[in-house]
Amino acid sequence: MQNLPLPEADAATTATIKDWLARFAACVRAVDYKSAYPFWHDNIVIFGTYQELVRSRQRWTDTQWDNVWPRTADFAFDLDNTSVLASPDGQLAVAVTPWTSTGFHPDGVPFPRPGRATIILAKQADGRWVGVHSHMSLGKGVPQDSHGQRPVAAR
């Protein structure tokens, strides 16, 4: 049996999703929840480092973002190694992307904190993409806890 090709997104969709990732990553680096909210559906369903299953953006903020964003730094998606898949009708896209960040040991010494993410996005009636699912995980052997202490810029 021959496999069909992957449903890779066209160049325009790929560029739009990579831009979305870059703009969201800037919110993470700034610890700016308020600016990050519009990137995500209110009723998102996610998996993350601190929670097995979370339903709602607010619960995600309270249980995951609060435990990671202020305690890490330098978050960025590796856009050169990001794959974007899309549904044939162009209404759903999936970003499969590695990411990097800096974690901090209890004594303040920084360490590399890489990981990977799968993000499912849905195109809204106004043409915006919003995340409807996210699964982010740390790389193998990367310490789960980070002890940075950056303030939340905006809720």
Which CATH number fits the domain that encloses residue 129?
3.10.450.50
The helix/strand/coil state of 129 is strand
Sequence length of the chain is: 155
pLDDT of residue 20: 98
Q: What one-character DSSP code corresponds to residue 81?
A: G
- Tens digits of per-residue pLDDT, 83-134? 999 999 999 999 999 999 999 999 999 999 999 999 999 999 999 999 999 9
What's the whole-number mean pLDDT along residues 5-33? 97
pLDDT at 49: 65
Is residue 5 one of the residues assigned to a domain?
no
User: Is 100 part of any domain?
Assistant: yes
CA distances from 42 to 61, 70, 92, 107 (A): 11, 22, 17, 37
Instruction: Assess if residue 106 is contained within a domain.
Output: yes
Domain assignment present for 1: no
- What residue numbers bound the domain in which 106 lies? 11-138
> pTM of the entire structure?
0.93
Give a yes or no: residue 129 inside a domain: yes
Residue 3 lies in a domain: no
Structural domain contains residue 154: no
**If we measure between CA atoms, which residue out of 126, 125, 65, 132 comes closest to residue 94?**
132
Residue 66 maps to a domain: yes
- Number of domains comprising the chain: 1
The C-alpha atoms of residue 7 and residue 68 are separated, in whole angstroms, by 32
The pair of structure tokens assigned to 84 is 């974007």
Only one residue has tokens 């974690």, namely: 103
